[in-house]
Amino acid sequence: MIKPMLCQEAAEPFNNPGYLWETKYDGVRALVSVDAAGYKIQARSGTDKTRLFPELVIKTRFPAILDGEIVSADGKFNAIQHRANRQNGILSSADRYPAIYEVFDILEVDGPQGHLNLRFQPLWKRKDILEQILLPNETTKLSTYTYDGIALFKAAESAGDEGVVGKDIKQAYLENKRAWLKVKTWQMETFLAVGYTKGTGWREKSFGALVLSDAHGVYVGEVGTGFNDEDIARICGRFIPGACPFSKEPEPATWIKPFGVKIRYLEKSNDGILRFPSYKGDA
139 and 236 belong to one structural domain: no
Whether residue 153 is found in the same domain as residue 213: no
CATH, residue 153? 3.30.470.30
Q: Is residue 1 part of a domain?
A: no
pLDDT surpasses 90 at 273: yes
175 and 103 in a single domain? The answer is yes
Based on the fold, state whether residues 172 and 237 are members of the same structural domain: no
| Separation CA 263–CA 235 (nearest Å) | 14
**Residue 78: per-residue pLDDT:** 61
Rounded Cα gap, residues 204 and 113, in angstroms: 66
Domain boundary among 140, 168, 184: 184
**212/259 Cα distance (integer angstroms):** 10
pLDDT at 162 over 90: no
Residue 117 lies in a domain: yes
Domain boundary among 184, 217, 233: 184
Cross-strand pairs, 190: 262
Q: Which of 166, 184, 202 is the last residue of a domain?
A: 184
Same domain, 35 and 92: yes
pLDDT given at position 76: 64
pLDDT tens string 4-42: 999 999 989 999 999 999 999 989 999 999 999 999 999
Q: Same domain, yes or no, for 125 and 220? A: no
Instruction: Give the torsion sign (CA, 123, 126, 132, 135).
Output: negative
The amino acid occupying position 107 is L
- Same domain? 156 vs 204: no
pTM for the full predicted model:
0.73
Q: Around Cβ 227, how many Cβ atoms within 10 Å? A: 19
**CATH code where residue 273 lies:** 2.40.50.140
Eight-class DSSP state of 2: P
In this structure, the answer to whether residues 170 and 215 fall within a common structural domain is no
**What are the tens digits of pLDDT across the range 62-107?**
999 999 999 998 876 666 877 888 888 999 989 988 999 999 999 9
Range of the domain at 108: 6-184
Shared-domain flag, residues 21 and 98: yes
Strands 99-111 vs 64-72: parallel, antiparallel or unpaired: antiparallel
CA distance 114 to 2: 21
Domain count, the chain: 2
The predicted structure's pLDDT at residue 242: 96
Element counts in the chain: helices (H) and strands (E): 5, 17
C-alpha 171 chain-centroid distance: 23
264 located within any domain? yes
Domain annotation covers residue 128 = yes
Within this chain, do residues 197 and 231 fall inside the same structural domain, yes or no?
Answer: yes
**Whether residue 36 is found in the same domain as residue 121:** yes
Q: Is the pLDDT of residue 269 over 70?
A: yes
Q: What is the pLDDT of residues 240-254, one digit of tens each?
A: 999 999 999 998 999
Q: Is residue 42 part of a domain?
A: yes
Are 205 and 158 members of one domain?
Answer: no
Q: Which helix (H) or strand (E) holds 105?
A: strand 99-111
